[in-house]
Amino acid sequence: MNLPDKVYALAFGAHPDDVELSCGATLLKIIDEGHRVAVCDLTHGEMGTHGTPETRRVEALQAREIMGYAARDILDLGDSELFYTQENLNDIIRIVRAYRPDVVFCNPPEERHPDHVKASRLVHDACFYAGLRRIETSLDGTPQLPHRPRHLLYYIQFRQLEPDIIVDVSSTFEHSRKGVTAFGSQFYRNDQNDEPVTLINRKEFLTGLEARAHSLGEQIGAKYGEGFLLAGTLAVHEFSTVFLPVP
pLDDT tens, position by position, 41-80: 999 988 776 768 889 999 999 999 999 999 999 999 998 9
Answer yes or no: is 20 within a domain: yes
Answer yes or no: is 2 within a domain: no
Query: Hey, how many other C-beta atoms are within 10 angstroms of the C-beta on 113?
Result: 16
Total domains in the fold of the chain? 1
Answer yes or no: is 247 within a domain: no
Answer yes or no: is 4 within a domain: no
Q: Where are the alpha helices (DSSP H) in 9-85?
A: 18-32, 53-67
Whole-number pLDDT of residue 193 = 63
Model pLDDT for residues 131-167, shown as the tens digit of each residue: 999 999 999 999 999 999 999 999 999 998 999 999 9
Whole-number pLDDT of residue 206 = 83
Whole-number pLDDT of residue 183 = 87
Answer yes or no: is 181 within a domain: yes
Residues spanned by the domain of 172: 9-242
Contacts 24+ apart (CB under 8 A), 211-220: 212/160, 213/25, 213/169, 213/173, 216/163, 216/166, 217/166, 217/168, 217/169, 217/170, 219/166, 220/166, 220/168
Q: Among 233, 243, 227, which residue's Cα sits nearest to residue 165? A: 227
Answer yes or no: is 42 within a domain: yes
Answer yes or no: is 3 within a domain: no
- State the chain's mean pLDDT as an integer: 92
Whole-number pLDDT of residue 173 = 97
Q: What is the CATH number of the domain that holds 57?
A: 3.40.50.10320
Q: Among 227, 6, 12, which residue's Cα sits nearest to residue 119? A: 12
Answer yes or no: is 62 within a domain: yes
- DSSP readout, 92-110? HHHHHHHH--SEEEE--SS
- Residue 243 CB-half CA count within 13 A: 5
Choice among 114-123, 191-200, 218-227 with the minimum mean pLDDT: 191-200
Query: Do 28 and 213 meet the contact criterion of CB atoms below 8 Å apart?
Result: no
Q: Is the pLDDT of residue 86 over 60?
A: yes
Q: Taking CA 115 as the corner, what is the angle to CA 159 and CA 205, rounded to the nearest 5 degrees?
A: 45
pTM of the model: 0.93
* DSSP bridge pairs for 105: 11, 153
